[in-house]
Amino acid sequence: MSRFLLRRLPQAIIVLFGVVTLAFLMTHVVPGDPARLIAGPNASADTVASIHHELGLDRSLGYQYWLYLRQAVQGDLGTSYALQGMSVTSAIGHALPVSAAVAVLGVLWEVLLGVPIGIIAAYRPKGLLDRATTLASLIGLSAPPFWVGLLLLYVLAYKTSVFPLSGYANPFINYLILPSFTLGLGGAAWYARLTRTNMLEALRSPYVQTARAKGMPESVILLRHCLRNVLSPLLTMLGMDLGYFLGGVVVIESVFGLPGIGKLTFDAIGTLDIPMITGAVLFAAFFIVVMNLLVDLAYAAIDPRVRR
């Protein structure tokens, strides 16, 4: 196990280094001048130049990169241009609980909706239920989440006021159910497919034949014997989704007016708040890399074949 870790960890670090580099490059090698934007349209050239200097934008790109890298390693992602001297890390820290709540609940919905559908579909492959659920899940992943969210808002918040329209206040759970459900609905289709495929594979194995020969009821075979085979691929997908969602789901947060990381990034784009954009993108990618690493490690812990 430790040898696997020793091999996998440097890989993750190299990827993280690449992530920082790419995030820096994409926001710094650009035509726009943030100093101009901060100074406003009527500022003199001198003012713009002094802001330029203040932000360190007059230094060479290589030096700026080196500085950014050095600070990023220490967890310092710079200071926001727009949010009056607030550090990027603390702004992200404030928004993280919202995004984390949506992410965790969203993954929960994915599993709650997807896995049972997959089991039902695998029960009689090519049967009516299988076809219906396959088509339903295909529709689920073809529907744009922002549209589904708006539709849910229209029916459940505007027409029938079951849920609040938008925003984020106490009791928070009321404001989180619809966004997380919207998020989970699209992903659930993948979980249904994954569950179905793995269940069907397990159903063809000899031990299922033995169980059937012993006269075990089909429900026990499905739920106790086959479902286990779905667990590790499920864990992989779950971990990766969580990593993906934690970085903020821009579209969902925008539809439901949630103050998460996605919203933070989106607002930063309007003001060309470069440190904030870079920081948020970096942060999101960081989560994905870390969750990938954790999933790989969990896999290796469960399945010794992976360690080799």
Instruction: Report, in Å, the least distance between residue 213 CB and another protein.
Output: 30
CB neighbours of residue 224 within 10 Å: 11
100 lines the binding site for another protein (CB under 8 A): no
Nearest residue to 259 via CA among 98, 92, 80: 98
Question: SS3 of 249, please?
Answer: coil
The binding track of 149-178 with respect to another protein, each residue x by CB under 8 A or -, is -xx-xx---x--------------------
Mark the segment that binds another protein (CB under 8 A) among 94-102, 105-113, 217-225, 251-259.
251-259
Site string for another protein, 178-207 (x = CB under 8 A): ------------x--x---x----------
Rounded CA separation 53/34 (Å)? 12
Contact of 243 with 286, CB cutoff 8 Å: no
Establish if 301 lies at the interface with another protein (CB under 8 A): no
Question: Is residue 142 close enough to count as binding another protein by CB under 8 A?
Answer: yes
Smaller CB distance to another protein: residue 225 or 262?
262
Residue pointed to by tokens 């744009």? 144
DSSP assignment of 249-301, as one string? -HHHHHHHT--SHHHHHHHHHHTT-HHHHHHHHHHHHHHHHHHHHHHHHHHHH
* Contact residue for another protein among 101, 120, 258, 285 (CB under 8 A): 285
Is the dihedral angle over the CA atoms 288, 291, 297, 301 positive or is it negative? Answer: negative
Residues 301, 303, 305, CA angle at the centre, nearest 5°?
115
* Interface residues toward another protein, by CB under 8 A: 11, 14-15, 18-19, 21-23, 26-27, 30-32, 135, 138-139, 141-147, 150-151, 153-154, 158, 190, 193, 197, 237, 244, 247-248, 250-251, 254-255, 262, 265-266, 269, 272, 274, 277-278, 280-281, 284-285, 288-289, 292
